[in-house]
């Protein structure tokens, strides 16, 4: 199915909940599905979501420990539903797994590094969250009006518009709470002209040389809320992002990924404006 014909992720959730509303597992996992939709971007088309992004979400959830597998279960069912509906050609559910912890040379090097659990955002990223929050508050008002109109129909037993509006309200309220928490706890990274820095940290741009191919690639280390694979902005909770934290120019980096081992040489580290 083409991107133009696929529903948005939020629309897909509404259809999924309506189709599976009698399933107890779906009811129990509704909050987790709301988090997943908010993380992906509610207005994005389901066909636009990539396997890398799904794996990144699993990596983020995996930081939560033993309950990770349970939290991913409803999301797997949701992604499988996309495939069943023909919205995507290749299944995404298989990419939603928590990576096993492997003790490697790279892992040993990063074991004692500082963790970045807080929200360290660029001014651009912070402004983007504020704009998203304002948009959601406006949408909340519209949904509340939809609920009022739907409740005008006294027969609540088969009131599909009311159920859909309430589901949407729940997702919006969850996302608003998450955004407000992120904004209130955010640390805005200082702005200024790009300059060389001694060690990589959140907000740094790291230029690497592939030890095998000789090609160079540059990644900007960002909070998970700013991650954008298309712009080479990678989350510091991802395997690659974690491996690139607290590095110095000239240091060799070994990163274990599902397809094998990547080896890079750090060529340059700059503080982005």
- Identify the pLDDT of residue 199: 79
Mean pLDDT of the chain: 75
> At 235, phi and psi to the nearest 5?
-70, 140
**In a 3-state reduction of DSSP, which class is residue 6?**
coil
Model pLDDT for residues 30-70, shown as the tens digit of each residue:
777 887 887 787 788 888 887 777 877 777 676 555 556 67
Segment 224-253 mean pLDDT: 82
The number of angstroms, rounded, from the C-alpha of 205 to the middle of its chain's C-alpha atoms is: 20
Give the whole-angstrom CA distance, residue 207 versus residue 196: 11
Close Cβ partners of 263 (under 8 Å, ≥ 6 residues apart): 210, 211, 212, 252, 253, 254, 255
> Sign (positive/negative) of CA torsion 229, 231, 232, 234?
negative
Give the whole-angstrom CA distance, residue 265 versus residue 241: 15
Segment 181-200 mean pLDDT: 66
- In CATH, the architecture of 123-188 is Orthogonal Bundle (1.10)
Segment 134-144 mean pLDDT: 88
Higher pLDDT, 51 or 208: 208
Segment 184-200 mean pLDDT: 64
Segment 169-178 mean pLDDT: 80
269, β-bridge pairs: 206
119, β-bridge pairs: 186
Element (H, E) at 70: helix 68-84
* Residue in the structure block whose two tokens are 């259809």: 15
196, β-bridge pairs: 270
Residues of the chain with CATH 1.10.287.180: 123-188
Give the whole-angstrom CA distance, residue 97 versus residue 174: 24
Give the whole-angstrom CA distance, residue 140 versus residue 170: 10
- Model confidence at 229, pLDDT cuts 50, 70, 90, reads confident
173: its two tokens: 């309220």
pTM exceeds 0.75: no
**In a 3-state reduction of DSSP, which class is residue 8?**
strand
Segment 60-82 mean pLDDT: 75
Give the whole-angstrom CA distance, residue 80 versus residue 201: 37
Q: CATH classification of 195-271, choosing from 3.10.310.30, 3.30.230.70, 3.10.50.30, 3.40.50.300?
A: 3.10.50.30
Segment 91-107 mean pLDDT: 59
- In CATH, the architecture of 3-101 is Orthogonal Bundle (1.10)
- Identify the pLDDT of residue 265: 92
Give the whole-angstrom CA distance, residue 52 versus residue 238: 10
- Model confidence at 95, pLDDT cuts 50, 70, 90, reads confident
- Identify the pLDDT of residue 194: 46
Residues of the chain with CATH 1.10.150.130: 3-101
244: its two tokens: 């690139």
Q: CA 24, 142, 41 angle in degrees (round to 5)?
A: 60
Residues of the chain with CATH 3.10.50.30: 195-271
- Identify the pLDDT of residue 151: 78
Lowest mean pLDDT among 121-130, 156-165, 184-193: 184-193
- Identify the pLDDT of residue 116: 40
- Model confidence at 190, pLDDT cuts 50, 70, 90, reads low
């Amino acid at each position: 199915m083409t991107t133009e014909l696929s529903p948005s992720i939020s629309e897909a959730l509404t259809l999924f909940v309506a189709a599976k509303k009698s399933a107890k597992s779906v009811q129990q996992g509704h909050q987790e599905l709301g988090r997943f939709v908010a993380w992906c971007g509610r207005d994005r088309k389901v066909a636009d979501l990539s396997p890398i992004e799904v794996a990144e979400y699993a990596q983020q959830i995996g930081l939560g420990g033993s309950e990770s597998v349970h939290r991913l279960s409803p999301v797997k069912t949701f992604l499988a539903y996309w495939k069943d509906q023909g919205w995507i050609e290749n299944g995404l559910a298989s990419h939603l797994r928590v990576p096993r912890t492997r003790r490697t040379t790279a892992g040993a090097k990063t074991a004692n590094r500082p963790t970045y659990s807080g929200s360290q955002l660029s001014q651009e990223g912070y402004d983007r969250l504020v704009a998203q929050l304002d948009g959601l508050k406006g949408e909340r008002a519209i949904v509340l009006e939809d609920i009022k109109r739907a409740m005008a129909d006294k027969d609540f037993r088969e009131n599909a518009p009311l159920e859909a509006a309430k589901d949407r309200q729940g997702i919006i309220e969850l996302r608003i709470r998450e955004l407000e928490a992120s904004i209130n706890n955010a640390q805005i990274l200082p702005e200024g002209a790009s300059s060389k820095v001694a060690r990589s940290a959140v907000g740094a741009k790291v230029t690497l040389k592939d030890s095998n191919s000789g090609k160079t690639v540059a990644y900007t280390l960002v909070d998970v809320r700013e991650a954008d694979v298309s712009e080479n902005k990678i989350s510091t909770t991802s395997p690659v992002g974690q491996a690139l934290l607290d590095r110095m120019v000239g240091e060799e980096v070994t990163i274990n990924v599902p397809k094998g081992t990547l080896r890079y040489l750090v060529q340059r580290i700059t503080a982005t404006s």
